[in-house]
Amino acid sequence: MLVLLEKGVSEGVVNDVAARLRMFGLSVHRTDHEGQVRLGAIGDRVPVDWEAARRWPGVAEIRRIPVSFKLVSREFRPRDTVISVGRCAIGGEQLALMAGPCSVEGEEQVFRIAEAVARAGATIMRGGAYKPRTSPYSFQGLGEEGLKILRRAADAHGLAVVSEVLDSQQVPLVARYADILQIGARNMQNSALLREVGRGEKPVLLKRGPACTIEEWLMSAEHIVSHGNSQVILCERGIRTFETYTRYTLDLNAIPVVKELSHLPVVVDPSHGTGIRNKVAPMARAAIAAGADGLIIEVHHDPDHALSDGPQSLYPEQFRELVEQIRAIAKVLGRRV
């Protein structure tokens, strides 16, 4: 349920209402909107007399939240969530540009790409130190050494870092080096991992699973937010359909749908969504035009020899051209790079 308090109530009244709700075994989550405190009361362990609750001091209105994803819904928080990471505020006027190699292969490679994407306009460096691969014989990443290289390269060029975490035991380690923890598509419904990043303080980039509905995606975000971490960035990266020409089918419909249903920011990954280098830029432009809050794009200076995802990685000069195109689209929409 959503408990709306009277405007101007004291913190003492807010705390009293929250304490009463907790006495019924409900978890209580607070947000403020236009001078009004809104309390999301989640759970159903003990029946609550909501008619009586409407008469509690300070309570203005009580509404049912009609969707299953309570805390990430627009009903709970009407205004957009904006997440500050480094020089970028994700979800606001500025578009977030995340770019870098699929995987960290070595120091020279990462520093070279970091310099190129920073010069082009990226504010966040992407790169995988732990790589979930379809084949157990494919390159699996450099582990902690890869995270160290990524951190050094990003710091040298004024970039924040986003990198993937594969299981709950890795969270403290990856959080030591990365500014954003990425939950990959394979792990979108790994509830133990979602709980662990939900208990942390680092922003989370939550990729949509290739066979997951929008509601399932938002429910995964709900797992994170319900454990205390409201800094979730949703990432559309393509779903599996009957079409086989591209790696996946990039679901651009999801952008306006999710923006209507949820207050969380949405970024798009056209690299994984297409799997084809010359399709990345068109879909990236379309994503921004459709209302995405940013992009995460794979860039490599020598993609023909990349240890992973070379065919979908842009050359640095291609990324630079794309950023200029995005800049023009953003201006039309009242946004900026």
| C-alpha–C-alpha distance, residues 14 and 10, integer Å | 7
Q: How many CA atoms lie within 13 A of 186 on its CB side?
A: 8
Domain segments of the chain as ranges: 2-63, 83-332
Q: Is 274 helix (H, G, I), strand (E, B) or coil?
A: helix
Matching CATH number, 2-63, of 3.40.50.10440, 3.40.50.970, 3.30.70.1140, 3.80.10.10: 3.30.70.1140
DSSP H helices in 140-213: 144-156, 171-177, 191-198
310, with CB counted inside 10 A (0-12, 13-18, 19+), is middle
- If you write DSSP's letter for every residue of 2-53 in order, what string do you get? EEEEPTT--HHHHHHHHHHHHHTT-EEEEEEETTEEEEEEE--SS---HHHH
Note the pLDDT of residue 139.
Answer: 84
| C-alpha–C-alpha distance, residues 326 and 337, integer Å | 8
Note the pLDDT of residue 132.
Answer: 83
Note the pLDDT of residue 65.
Answer: 94
Top CATH class of 83-332 equals alpha beta
Task: Give the start-end residues of each E strand in 240-280.
Answer: 266-268
| C-alpha–C-alpha distance, residues 251 and 14, integer Å | 41
Backbone angles phi, psi at 98, to 5 degrees: -105, 125
- 292: closest CA among 114, 95, 51? 95
Note the pLDDT of residue 141.
Answer: 83
The tens place of each residue's pLDDT in the chain, 337 residues long, gives 999 999 999 999 999 999 999 999 999 999 999 999 999 999 876 788 999 999 999 999 999 999 999 999 999 999 999 999 988 999 999 999 999 999 999 999 999 999 999 999 999 999 999 988 788 878 888 899 999 999 999 999 999 999 999 999 999 999 999 999 999 999 999 999 999 999 999 999 999 999 999 999 999 999 999 999 999 999 999 999 999 999 999 999 999 999 999 999 999 999 999 999 999 999 999 999 999 999 999 999 999 999 988 999 999 999 999 999 999 999 999 999 9
β-strands 2-5, 36-42 pairing: antiparallel
The CA radius of gyration of the chain, in Å to the nearest whole number, is 21
Task: Give the start-end residues of each E strand in 178-333.
Answer: 180-183, 204-207, 232-236, 266-268, 294-298
Contact 149, 142 (CB under 8 A): yes
- 96: closest CA among 265, 294, 268, 269? 294
| C-alpha–C-alpha distance, residues 337 and 329, integer Å | 10
Note the pLDDT of residue 202.
Answer: 97
What's the pTM value of the predicted model, to 2 decimals? 0.94
**CB within 8 Å of 332: residues ≥ 6 apart:** none
| C-alpha–C-alpha distance, residues 323 and 218, integer Å | 29
